[in-house]
Amino acid sequence: MSIEKLELVSIVGPLPQLDEAIIACLQSGVFHIEHAGRLLGTPEDSPGTDRAEQNPFAEPLKRLTELDLRQIPPDTGSEPLPGEFTPEQITSETDRIARSLRDVHEQLTQTRRQIADCENAAIHLKHLQSSEIDLGELTHCRHILSRFGRMPEENLQKLAFYSDESFIFQAYYTAHEYVWGFYFAERDRIPAVDAIMKGLLFEEFTLPENISGTPEQVMAELQIRLTEQKSALEKLEQEEHRIYEAEGPLLGRMYRFAKYQSEVWRLRSQCILMHDKFNLMGYVPVSEKETFRRLIDRVSDLAVSYEEPWENSKVQPPVRMKNGWFTRPFGMFVEMYGLPNYRGYNPTTLMALTYTLLFGIMFGDLGQGIVLALIGLYLEHKKKITLGGIMARIGISSAVFGALYGSVFGFEDLLDPVYESLGIRLLPLHAMENTNLFIFGAVGIGAAIILISILVNICVRLRQHNYEEAVFGNNGLAGLVFFSALLLIVLSIITGNMLLPKGALIALAVVPLVLMFFREPLGHWMAHKHYEMPAIGDFIASNFFECFEFLLGYATNTLSFIRVGGFVFSHAGLMSVVLLLSEMIGGDGRSWLTIIIGNAFVMGLEGLIVGIQVLRLEFYEVFSRCYDGDGQPFTPISVQFDELTGLSDARSHK
C-alpha cells in the first residue's frame, strides 16, 4: 500500500477569529497542526512576532483536576458551549464544591486511618491471645513505659549483651522466625532502649488508645470498633457520593469547557501572531479535505490556502499509512520499527506477505494453524486486539503449509491417503524425508527476499534523488548485480553447469564491486555535487574494508534464512516427542490428554519463538536494506477528557 497524500493548509485571519479557527480545526478531527514559525523558518522571537499570551484556563483546570472527577456520572459529558464559563466562574464554583467536600474528606481520611490501625492491631494482638496481661494497665503506667512489637527470633539471644541497660523484654509468641512481645524501661531510659531495640530489628506496633483488659477482650472490643467505624465510613462515602452526584453536571460541564479552552490556548502557541493577524498552519489528508473545508469555511474573514507539502522544508510532513484489509494489522510491526518518511516507502505490504509466508513455512501444521487462526479471529473481532488480526492471517498460512507437509496436530501420516487418492506423488513433503529441499529452499527464499528488498530500495532512493545509494550502494543497482552474480556462481558450482560464461560472471562480479568502491565520488558526480576527496590512503583503506563488509553481509544475511528450514525440523521434532510421550503414558493406546497438552505447549512456545524470529528477519534482513523509519505520525488535534468516567479518548465536538 501507500502513504496517504496530505496537503499543507495555511490559515490567515484577524486575531479575534483565531479561537474560532482553532475550534473549527478541532471539530474536523483531520487537522495535524505544525508550528507555523518552524515551517516558515521564522524565529519565535523575531521582530513583529508576538509571544503567546498566558493561558487563563490553566489554573481553573488544575483546581478541577484536584477533585475526584471519576465519580462524575458518564452522562454529564455534554458538549461545551462557547463562552459558557469564564475562568473566574470556574474557579469560584470549584472552590465552593471543594469546601463542601473538605470536611467529608478529612473525616474519611481519619476514619480510614482508624480502621487500618484497628485491623493492624487485631492482626498482631492475636499472638497474645493466650496471655492474661491487662493491656490497659501497661498503657497507663506513669514511670515505666512499654513497647509492643516483634523482632527476628535469631536476635533474641543478643539481648544478653544488653543486660546492664535496665530494660526487660518479655516474649509471648514465636512463629515464622519472629518473636512477639513487650519491652519495658523507665521513662527517662526509653529513648536509649528504643535505639537498642531498633538495632535488633524490633518492629513496633502501636496499640489503639483507651483499651483495657486481656488481649482477647481487647480483640473483641476492636471488632466492635471496626463495625462502628466501617458503618461511619459507609455513611461518609455516601455523603461524598451525594455531593458529587448533585454537583456532577456542573463539574462535568466546567471540566470539559476548561479542558477544551485550555487546549485551544495551547494550540495558539503554534501560530504566528503578528499584531492584529495570525497564521495557523498544518496538514490535512487529501481524502478528507472537503470535510475540513466545510468547517473552516464557516469562519468568516479567513484566507485559507491548500498546497502540496514543501519539498525542502526543515519540518518533514507527518505520515498516515494507507493499508488494505490484509495488510492493516501488520502496520503495528512497521510502527514498532518506525514510520516511513512522507516521501518514502510504505513497507507494510512487503512485510505482510513475507511475514505470513515465512511463518507458515516455519510453523506448518494444518490443525494448529486452524486453531491459531480461530484464536486470532476472536481476538481481532471480539477483543479488538490488533495482534489477533496478525494471528488469523499467519494461522491460515500455517494451515496451508501444514497441508503441504501432511502434518495435522503433529500426525504426519493423516493426509497420506488423501494425496494418494488424488495421485499427487510429490505431497506430502515430510520434513525429515526432505532435509535438503528445506535447507536449500530456505536459502533460496532468503536470497529472493533480499533481491526484492534491494529492488525496492533502488526505487525509493531514485525517488529521493539519492543516486549514491540507488546506483552505487551495496543495496543499489551495483549491489543487485553483484549479489546476483554471486548467486549465479554458487548455483553453477552446486549444479556443475555454468549458467553464464566465466568471463561474464567475473565481469558481473568485479565491475559492480569497483563501482561500490568508488560509490561516494560517483554519487556526487551523478548528483552534480562537489566531492571533497580525502587522503588517498584513508580513501582506499576505508572503502576496501566497507566492500569486504558488504561481501560478508551478503553471505551472512543469506545464510541467516537457514533458520527458516531449521524451524521446520524443530516443529516436526517437537511434535514427534509429544506423540512418543502419549504412547509411553497411554500404554497400549495413546494418551489424548498428553497430545492436547503437548499441542498447546508447542503452539504457545514455538509459535512465540517463530513469531519473534520472523520479525527479526524482517527488521534486520529486509528493513535494514530498503527502509529508514524516520517519519513522524499524523496526529490530528483533539481534546481528551481522560479524568471523566466513560469519556476517555473522547473527542470534543465529534
| Residue 518 within a domain | yes
Q: In this model, does residue 584 exceed pLDDT 90?
A: no
Kindly state the percentage of the chain with pLDDT values over 70: 94
HEC-encoded secondary structure of 428-480: CCCHHHCHHHHHHHHHHHHHHHHHHHHHHHHHHHHHCCCHHHHHCCCCCHHHH
| Residue 154 within a domain | yes
pLDDT for res 65: 87
User: Do 209 and 326 have their domain in common?
Assistant: no
Query: Which phi and psi (to 5°) does residue 100 adopt?
Result: -70, -25
CB 216 within 8 A of CB 127: no
Residue 622's domain comprises 322-626
In this structure, the number of other CB atoms found within 10 A of the CB of residue 646 comes to: 13
Alpha helices of 149-209 — where are they, by DSSP H? 190-199
Within 8 A by CB and 6+ apart from 516, the residues are 472, 473, 474, 478, 479, 482, 547, 550
Tens of pLDDT along 273-306?
A: 888 899 999 999 999 999 999 999 999 999 999 9
Out of 166, 197, 213, pick the residue that ends a domain: 213
**Closest to 595 (Cα-Cα) out of 605, 584, 608, 581:** 581
What is the three-class DSSP state of 358?
helix
Grade residue 253 by pLDDT with cuts at 50, 70 and 90.
confident
Out of 213, 235, 269, pick the residue that ends a domain: 213
HEC-encoded secondary structure of 586-628: HCCCCCHHHHHHHHHHHHHHHHHHHHHHHHHHHHHHHHHHHCC
| Residue 39 within a domain | no
| Residue 157 within a domain | yes
CATH label of the domain that carries residue 194:
3.30.70.2750
End-to-end CA distance of the chain: 29
CA distances from 50 to 37, 186, 586 (A): 12, 73, 83
Tens of pLDDT along 402-437?
A: 999 999 998 888 888 888 888 888 888 888 888 888
Which of 256-260, 513-517, 542-546 has the weakest average pLDDT? 542-546
- Tell me, what DSSP letter sits at residue 415? T
Secondary structure of the chain: what % helix, strand, coil (to 5)? 60, 10, 30
How many folded domains does the chain comprise? Answer: 2
Instruction: Please state the pTM of the whole predicted model.
Output: 0.75
Average pLDDT over residues 349-369: 94
What is the three-class DSSP state of 174?
strand
70 versus 223: the higher-pLDDT residue is 223
In angstroms, the CA 167 to CA 179 distance is: 17
User: Do 504 and 378 have their domain in common?
Assistant: yes
Return mean pLDDT, the chain: 85
| Residue 430 within a domain | yes
CB 171 within 8 A of CB 130: no
Q: In this model, does residue 104 exceed pLDDT 80?
A: yes
CA distances from 550 to 278, 445, 468, 553 (A): 53, 20, 15, 5
Out of 147, 178, 213, pick the residue that ends a domain: 213
Q: In this model, does residue 231 exceed pLDDT 90?
A: yes
| Residue 438 within a domain | yes
Kindly state the percentage of the chain with pLDDT values over 90: 33
User: Do 610 and 470 have their domain in common?
Assistant: yes
pLDDT for res 44: 53
User: Do 405 and 539 have their domain in common?
Assistant: yes
In angstroms, the CA 155 to CA 184 distance is: 17
**Closest to 636 (Cα-Cα) out of 295, 337, 386, 383:** 295
Tens of pLDDT along 194-222?
A: 999 999 999 888 777 777 787 788 888 88
pLDDT for res 79: 60
In angstroms, the CA 484 to CA 164 distance is: 91
Grade residue 649 by pLDDT with cuts at 50, 70 and 90.
very low
| Residue 268 within a domain | no
Handedness of CA 264, 267, 273, 279 (dihedral sign): negative
In angstroms, the CA 225 to CA 119 distance is: 10
| Residue 4 within a domain | no
pLDDT for res 71: 78
Grade residue 33 by pLDDT with cuts at 50, 70 and 90.
very high
Grade residue 7 by pLDDT with cuts at 50, 70 and 90.
very high
User: Do 457 and 602 have their domain in common?
Assistant: yes
pLDDT for res 80: 61
